[in-house]
Amino acid sequence: MKSTQPAKRRSDLASQPHPRYNRTAMTTLIIHPEFEVQKYHALKLTGEYLEHDPETLLTKSPPDLHLLDGTVSSSIGIQEVRDLLRRLQYQPYQSPAQVGLILMANTLTEEAQNSLLKSLEEPGPLTRFILTTPHERFLLPTIISRSNVRFIKERIVIHTQEKPLNHVPAKEFLERDLANRLLYTETLIEADTQTAGTITSFLTHLLKHFRGELLTRIMRGKTAESRMYAQIIKKIHKALHFLKYNANKRLTLENLILQLEESIITLRD
């Protein structure tokens, strides 16, 4: 059933369009380092377009919302984008418009991004696209130029059962492939510019995980693995030491991630 509550104006969004981007575009690109904040604003805008309660969009799945969620896989490919565009060819079923929502659009492959271009430039009159990303550098310039870009400036407390950015479970982080671990460091760096200590907190979280693994290996008498985990702990301590003395955050994190990759591969073998 359609919501009886009046749609909120888009001007209510706590975001600011940048003057050098296309403010008349039917595509909105929402940029913030934290995914939960991206999602909050994307669902709020989607709710305005569909005249639907944004808090129930993902649970009730209205027929005029067409979603690609970059958090459920390591990448969004061209076939998924083609399927989305095919669904958007039809008229809205029950809402004033239909929305193609792509959460974490930074996971779109380059091929998938290219396949979106024509639709972003010439969408149907009742079609709107909403994309989110932690940083514009992850998207093609041609995507950016076709978008009304909104940089979300302020931090927002999102009430959620998910872990906050600096406490993504260490096991989940380490199970990601190398490209996605490096991508996550970008998100950490962006978040640290707004909340000092985000990177340190996350590395401390990793330390706790590896100390637990080390203790388990020692108790089981696995000497070789214990030495490996001890080396990993030393590398994290070294990274924390560099950050304490204002070393370049990106270089420090990338170097640590690459070193951890070597150790992870060895442990798996």
Per-residue pLDDT tens digits for 18-70? 434 444 568 999 998 788 888 999 999 999 999 999 988 988 889 999 999 98
CA angle, 267 as apex, 262 and 269 as ends, to 5°? 95
Structure tokens at 47: 């709710």
Mean model confidence pLDDT for the chain: 82
Residue 163: pLDDT over 50 = no
- Structural domain boundaries in the chain: 10-151, 165-268
Per-residue pLDDT tens digits for 131-149? 999 888 889 999 999 999 9
Per-residue pLDDT tens digits for 79-126? 999 999 999 999 999 999 999 999 999 889 999 999 999 999 888 899
**Per-residue pLDDT band at 196 (split at 50, 70, 90):** confident
Question: What is this structure's pTM?
Answer: 0.55
**Per-residue pLDDT band at 226 (split at 50, 70, 90):** confident
Write out the H or E segment, with its range, that includes residue 89.
Answer: none
**Helix, strand or coil, per DSSP, at residue 1:** coil
Residue 216: pLDDT over 70 = yes
Pick among 3.20.20.70, 3.40.50.2300, 3.40.47.10, 3.40.50.300: CATH of 10-151: 3.40.50.300
Beta-carbon-side half-sphere exposure of residue 196 (alpha carbons within 13 Å): 3
